[in-house]
Chain A
Amino acid sequence: SQQGEEDPQALSIQEGENATMNCSYKTSINNLQWYRQNSGRGLVHLILIRSNEREKHSGRLRVTLDTSKKSSSLLITASRAADTASYFCATEMNTGNQFYFGTGTSLTVIP
C-alpha cells in the first residue's frame, strides 16, 4: 500500500488544549498536505508543506516535515469543539499528480 500511517488513530482532548497528530510515509515525496473531514463530508484542505520546507504555520495550525525520517506532524493549538473531525495527511509522489492518504486521526474536542 502507498498509504502513510497516522497516529494516534483517535485523540480526545478538552477544549483549549493542543492536539498533535503524526504522519509517517514510505517513499520520497514532492509535498505533504493535511486535510480535515467532517463525518460523511468532503475533504477540506488545511495546509501544504513542500519537501524542502521544515515547518509551516497557518493560523492555529503548525506543520513540521522531516524528510529524513519520512514523517510529519500537525499541531492544532487552542482547540475548539468545531475542530472535531478526522484529519488525514496526503503525500504527493515525485512523479506528480498522485496523492496518497494516511490512515487518519479521529479528533474529538470536548467542550
Chain B
Amino acid sequence: DTEVTQTPKHLVMGMTNKKSLKCEQHMGHRAMYWYKQKAKKPPELMFVYSYEKLSINESVPSRFSPECPNSSLLNLHLHALQPEDSALYLCASSQAYTGNTIYFGEGSWLTVV
C-alpha cells in the first residue's frame, strides 16, 4: 500500500477562520512533508518532519502551523490566512533515511476568501 491520504480535498475559508488540513500514511514512513503548489508552478517545500520532530521549516509564515501527533499523521493548522495562500497543499512521506522515494497524496485545494 503506497497511499498517502489527505483531507479535505477542497477547503474554502475566510481570512479570520481557523482550519486544519490532515494527512495520513500507513507505510511505516518516518519522514513526512508539506508542500505548497500554486497553479502552473512546481511544489515548494514548506515543512519536513523526521521521527515526529520538525526538522525543516522553509521560512514559512507562522499563520501555517504544522503538527505531527504520531508517526502516521501530519496536520497543517491554518489561521489568519491571506488570499495569496490559496493553493494546492500536498502531503508526502518517505523513509527517514536518504535515497528513498517520496510518495504524495492527492492534495488539498485551499481557497482563502
Contacts and interface: CB of A to CB of B under 8 A. Distances in A.
Given A3-B42, A43-B43, A99 B102 contact: yes
Contacts of B99: 30-31, 48, 50, 92
Nearest to B88: A40
Contacts of A30: 98-99
Contact of A45 (B44, B101, B107): B101
Given A92-B98, A101-B43, A45 B103 contact: yes
Contact of A48 (B41, B101, B109): B101
Contacts of B102: 33, 45, 90, 99
B98 A88 contact: no
Interface of A: 2-3, 30-31, 33, 35, 40-45, 48, 50, 88, 90, 92, 94, 96-104
For the complex, would chain A's binding face be called helix, strand, loop or mixed by DSSP majority? strand
For the complex, would chain B's binding face be called helix, strand, loop or mixed by DSSP majority? strand
Contacts of B74: none
A99 B98 CA distance: 10
Contacts of B96: 97
A48 B94 CA distance: 13
Interface residues of B, number: 28
A97 B101 contact: no
B113 interface: no
B45 A97 contact: no
Contact of A99 (B41, B45, B88): B45
28 contacts: A3-B42, A30-B98, A40-B109, A41-B106, A42-B104, A42-B106, A45-B102, A48-B101, A90-B102, A92-B99, A94-B98, A96-B97, A96-B98, A97-B33, A97-B48, A97-B55, A98-B56, A99-B33, A99-B92, A99-B102, A101-B42, A101-B43, A101-B44, A102-B42, A103-B41, A103-B42, A104-B41, A104-B42
Contact of B50 (A33, A97, A101): A97
B21 interface: no
Nearest to B2: A45
Contact of A100 (B45, B50, B94): B45
